[in-house]
Amino acid sequence: MAATQRQRKRSCRSSLRARSGSARVRSGSTPRCTRCLSIGTRDIRLTTRYAEDDLSGTSLFSTMHEAGHGVYEHGVSATLEGTPLASGCSSILHESQSRLWENVIGRSLPFWRWFYPRVQAAFPETLTGVSLERFHRAVNVTRPSLIRVDADETTYGLHIILRFELEQALLFGGLDTSDLPEAWNTRMRDLLGVDVPDDARGCLQDVHWAGGMFGYFPTYQLGNVVAAQIWERLLLDLPGAYDQIERGQFDEIHAWLRDRLYALGRKFTPAETIARVAGGPIDPEPYLAYLRDKSAALTRA
């Protein structure tokens, strides 16, 4: 099953403009994107993971997430190569692109109208008789979960709130690391109503704290907010974007993002860059409207 999933993801990644000549993908326990700094933006390296027992899209979405990071780095203007400006502008903007390609595009019904027949053909024993609408609902179902990277769009922010609160308590609030598992389990129950069976699926599930990346988690949720803002602005210029997605055509969408965001690298501050691509400062309203509209559409389906 993993080999077939790998083939489908290669097809999807190529369509999203993650060119095989510049991007290398390997499997790993933790999906991530990096680039070879000595070569620059033409060497993008991704890792993803494969779930043998899951065809609802979890591993595909991790690939799309990392491809979003990759197309951002790859899209930085060649004129900036060899300078400190030749990279994504900020973690928030980077996560806005990973979340935009993963969720705003990747979990949309137009995307699955294009891509689902390919997935269905690859796994006929499992998906024969499963309608497009049923599959689309399955990859968008709202359901509290143990694992952040598997969370749906609605409950994802609660996973970030949990980590942000605990980071503050660890750094400034007197929480000892020995008490972290208990504090984690209590807040998971409070926020999501989920009982944590072990630390591997609890406070040890992410690599960030072990790697010293305190303060990074909020960039994921802020990335969700900025992604919705950017998408709202893109639709003003490309009102047929969803029609293009349904045909598997991403060139115009990618070009719009490249010209207004990716190519800029670090030429401007994060606030200036967000204002240029989204038309204003960070605003949660487009994101909240996106969640409300999507939830309403799925409820009617």
Secondary structure string (H, E, C) spanning the chain? CHHHHHHHHHHHHHHCCCCCCCEEEEECCCCEEEECCCCCCCCEEEEECCCCCCCCCHHHHHHHHHHHHHHHHHCCCHHHCCCCCCCCCCHHHHHHHHHHHHHHHCCCHHHHHHHHHHHHHHCHHHHCCCCHHHHHHHCCCCCCCCCHHHCCCCCHHHHHHHHHHHHHHHHHCCCCHHHHHHHHHHHHHHHHCCCCCCHHHCCCCCCCCCCCCCCCHHHHHHHHHHHHHHHHHHHHHCCCHHHHHHCCCCHHHHHHHHHHCHHHCCCCCHHHHHHHHHCCCCCCHHHHHHHHHHHHHHHHC
Extract the tokens encoding 232: 């709202």
Query: Which pLDDT band holds residue 300 (cuts at 50, 70, 90)?
Result: confident
Instruction: State yes or no: pLDDT of 218 exceeds 90.
Output: yes
pLDDT for 129 equals 93
Is the pLDDT reported for residue 8 higher than 50? no
Predicted pLDDT at 31: 59
Q: Is the pLDDT of residue 49 over 90?
A: no
pLDDT above 70 (res 19): no
Contacts of 277 (CB under 8 A, 6+ apart): 230, 233, 257, 260, 261
CB-based contacts of 240, cutoff 8 Å, min separation 6: none
Task: Answer yes or no: are the C-beta atoms of 105 and 245 closer than 8 Å.
Answer: yes
Location of structure tokens 């055509």: 249
Taking residues 275-284, what's their average pLDDT?
A: 97
pLDDT surpasses 90 at 267: yes
- pLDDT range class, residue 164, cuts 50, 70, 90: very high
Give the whole-angstrom CA distance, residue 19 versus residue 36: 16
Provide the pLDDT for residue 154.
Answer: 96
> Alpha-carbon Rg of the chain, whole angstroms?
19
Whether the pLDDT of residue 37 is over 50: the answer is no
For residue range 84-124, list pLDDT tens digits in order.
999 999 999 999 999 999 999 999 999 999 999 999 999 99
**Rounded Cα–Cα distance for residues 135 and 133 (Å):** 5
31 vs 140 pLDDT, higher one? 140
Phi-psi region for residue 44, left (φ > 0), alpha (ψ -120 to 50) or beta?
A: beta
For residue 25, what are the β-bridge partners?
46
Q: Does 127 have pLDDT greater than 60?
A: yes
pLDDT band at 245 (very low <50, low <70, confident <90, very high): very high
Q: Is the pLDDT of residue 283 over 70?
A: yes
**Residue 18 contacts residue 44 (beta carbons within 8 Å):** yes
- The more confidently predicted of residues 227 and 55 is 227
Q: What angle do CA 85, 90, 93 make, to 5 degrees?
A: 120
Catalytic residue among 52, 66, 73, 133: 66
Give the model's confidence band at 5: pLDDT under 50 very low, under 70 low, under 90 confident, else very high: very low
For residue 24, the cross-strand partners are: 45
66 given a catalytic annotation: yes
**Residues 176-199: pLDDT tens digits?**
999 999 999 999 999 999 999 999
